[in-house]
Amino acid sequence: MTGTGESPRVLDLTGPLAIYGTRLMADLGADVIRVEDPAGDSIRRSPPFAGDVPDPEKSLAHLSFNTNKRSVTLDLRSARGQEIFRRLVKTADILVETFSPGYLETLDLGYAALREINPGLIMASVTPFGQTGPSAAWEASEITLWAMSGLMSITGDSNGPPVLAAQGYLVTGVAGLYTAIGSYLGLLARRLTGEGQHVDVSAQEALASTMVQGLVEYLFNQRITGRMGAKHGHIAVAGNYTCKDGFWSLSIGSAEHWHRLVEWIGDQELATNPALADEPERYRVRHLVNEKIEAWARQQTRAELVAEGQARQLPVASINTAADLVADPQLGARGYFVAVDHPTLGTFRVPGLVTDVLNRPRFRPAPLLGQHNEEVYGEIGLSQEAVQGLREAGII
Amino acid sequence: MPRLPLENVRVIDLTQAVAGPFATMLLADYGAEVIKIESRTRADLARRWRPFAPGKEQDLNGSGLFASLNRNKKSVTINLKHPRGVELVKRLLGRGDVIVENFSARVMAGLGLDWPAIRAANPQIIYVSMSGFGHTGPHRDWPSFNMTIQALSGLSFLTGFPDQGPLVIGNSWADFVGGLQATVAILAALERRARTRQGERLDLSQYEANVTLLGPVLLDYLLNGRVENRRGNRRADIAPHGSYPAKDPDTWCVISVADDAAWARFAEALGAPPWSLDPRFSTGDGRLEHADELDRRIGEWTARRPAREVIEHLQAAGIAAGLLQTEADLACDPQLAQRGFLQEVLHPVLGRIPLPGTPMRLSGTPGSARAPSPRLGAETEAVLSEILGLTSSELADLARSGALT
């Protein structure tokens, strides 16, 4: 369907590194077809599960990342499966895959072969280290990528071990975001050139692209950031601070913020040093500044600090849990959570789009395994009998 | 000269700090003409943010962060508090494809640049606001920064050890995620517009942009009523999984062993020490239950060896193992080097500086850091004369009126 007025069609052969990227494209209107092994994709086996019951339809990662997609099953290792896959590719705008570099070539389904049958195809290959280079074949997981990208060197206490942030979901998130960006760039380029292309995304580089402050600092001054616990490594006042009953978050991003904070704290030494209104000078003496803030805040509760800070128009915050987020009036008012009707789990809410509050579309739940076999294979011209035959042969 | 995917796209960029400029940087890397509108009285905040080249702390063109985020762009100074300045922006909108801003929610309306005004200037334009909380809802006016969002989005609560306080990622992480989400939204809107010829208004919330990466954690509460806590480096489903000290001070290996087959290879790679044959470790459930002892044993093994030696040995056995890399390691990482991740740009103040390039290699239309970040206002006259056709006397008149400061 290359170059038509329709929404793009995406074939989705992805694991954790790109599965959020194809979810984003599905949310934004693309027809995303998940092509799963007849036994079900491995994401369906990842815990936790709804009701804590291990079941391929109840993995929360599956329910979250496959919202709005369709599912077909297909055995890509069989010759008949490969033939059907090529027919699917003919109808697709984008193919996203996360196999080890070179694997699809062994099935004769690499980019060079697929381009022959669909010159307009944009194929995005998302791997831990990219398609080329000495580490291209290395094994990886979320935590090893967090470490190899530099991010783990700035996550953790200086006197404790380096830490993976947020259980590794951020790796899935950022690699997925670049997956979507690369895919859309390919679509837009095709409008100019008439041709598809191969998009090679490295998850290590995707994560390392956020290390710009530390990298440039090192290149200028040969200094590394290190683990700063709950503080920003490159901004004087930014991060979680201790208070009487736990923690709160405070950031000072401008001279106005600084003046408001100093007035609030009422500390003579901070107030009488006008140079501290300028970020570079404040950063130079940040340890002193932060000790004063911590000592002052330890006298007050989190609720007091957050309420008063907001009244003073400062970027303050409490440290939210999932329960806080679900109850949050701001997310509620914007309709951020969207209800879906799942055939077996009933109605539940999923995270929705991060834009476009006026036009939140209807969402469909993550598909059952092979739910759209008849529909999708019918669209590429297979009869009901043919589909039944494939099912009996174990191809789908 | 290869073609670039966004070579026909002009972006009117009112963003500053990190999230917005990161989004427009990605657009500029792939060929968009990004016209960055600043003012001399309120230059982009990031011009004052670290890191600075030695001796350049007071130079508005001396920030390395700004240099990276604003490469390939043009800087135009326009005073948005001046009626003729706003008029100029509207005329640029008429010649633009996308307008992006990350002001707090009330600012654009106050400037006379709300959506109806923008749409009147150009019905086909794509308008993306990317404020902290979006332009609607009870918290739309709350100020926000990266760390505010790290705290509010659930990220911080989930980071650290269960018996210690919540930690953060020590960079501007949430801004980068906000910028990436905005980039996806803009590209998808450009793709839709190519089909529908319709302009669009997208109201992005940086808070939602970050919350949404934690989908399964949110579903765990929505479907199971469970509030997940931080758990250090542990996972609920596999062990061992963590960071382990290596021989040299503050060097670390990171190891994750996915299943029984990987465990068998791992134990063999360690030389099959007697403890590794303990039946308590032979099943996934057993390894999870005895993760403390497992981590201690592995840590004793790694602590006697250089980190790189450990991970190369484990990789040879097919184990997901990695090295804790600092910025110093990234600068000489052979993988990043061979792929050309760092791209050198000649900057008028900073000299030759290597900047992080693009994590995406597009075989037909590759993006890159081609040109340095602009000096404040460097292209004011060029842009206004070339795009709006202003004459030199009109420009002089505008300058005298104070609209270009």
**ipTM metric:** 0.98
SS (H, E, C) A110-160: CHHHHHHHCCCCEEEEEECCCCCCCCCCCCCCHHHHHHHCCHHHHEECCCC
Question: What pLDDT is attached to residue A362?
Answer: 80
Band of residue B57 on the pLDDT scale cut at 50, 70, 90: confident
pTM over 0.90: yes
- Each residue's pLDDT tens digit, A244-274: 999 999 999 889 999 999 999 999 999 999 9
- Each residue's pLDDT tens digit, B339-367: 999 999 999 999 999 999 999 999 999 99
Calculate the average pLDDT of chain A.
Answer: 95
Query: Are A139 and B318 spatial neighbours (Cβ–Cβ below 8 Å)?
Result: yes
Nearest by CB to A351, from B26, B57, B212: name it: B212
| pLDDT for residue A6 is more than 90 | no
Is residue B175 flagged as an active site residue? yes
C-alpha distance across the termini of chain A, in Å:
24
Using a CB-CB distance cutoff of 8 angstroms, which residues of chain A are in contact with residue B188?
25, 28-29, 180, 184
Q: Do residue B222 and residue A133 have CB atoms under 8 angstroms apart?
A: no
Q: Do residue B159 and residue A249 have CB atoms under 8 angstroms apart?
A: no
- Each residue's pLDDT tens digit, B73-88: 999 999 999 999 999 9
In three-state secondary structure terms, B401 is helix
Question: What pLDDT is attached to residue A195?
Answer: 97
CB contact A108 to B (< 8 Å): no
- Counting one residue from chain A and one from chain B, the pairs whose CB atoms sit within 8 A come to 533
- Bridge partners of B320, per DSSP, are B256
CB contact A182 to B (< 8 Å): yes
**Taking the mean position of all CA atoms in its chain, how far away is CA B57?**
24
Q: What are phi and psi of B50, to 5 degrees?
A: -60, 160
* Alpha carbon separation from A250 to A178, A246, A311 (Å, rounded): 30, 14, 14
Measured in angstroms, the CA of B32 and the nearest CA of chain A are apart by 11
Distance (Å, whole) CA B318 – CA B335: 18
- Each residue's pLDDT tens digit, A299-353: 999 999 999 999 999 999 999 999 999 999 999 999 999 999 999 999 999 999 8
Q: Do residue A166 and residue B213 have CB atoms under 8 angstroms apart?
A: yes
- Among chain A residues, CA nearest to B156: A319
Band of residue A360 on the pLDDT scale cut at 50, 70, 90: low
Question: What pLDDT is attached to residue B1?
Answer: 67
Band of residue A355 on the pLDDT scale cut at 50, 70, 90: confident
Using a CB-CB distance cutoff of 8 angstroms, which residues of chain B are in contact with residue A8?
191
Which of B13, B29, B175, B295 is catalytic? The answer is: B175
In three-state secondary structure terms, A49 is strand
Question: What pLDDT is attached to residue A20?
Answer: 98
Q: Do residue A222 and residue B171 have CB atoms under 8 angstroms apart?
A: no
For B125-137, letters b (16+ CB in 10 Å) and e give bbbbbbbbbbbbb
Q: Do residue A133 and residue B339 have CB atoms under 8 angstroms apart?
A: yes
CA torsion B5-B206-A17-B294 (nearest 10°) is: 150
CA atoms within 13 A on the CB side of B44: 36
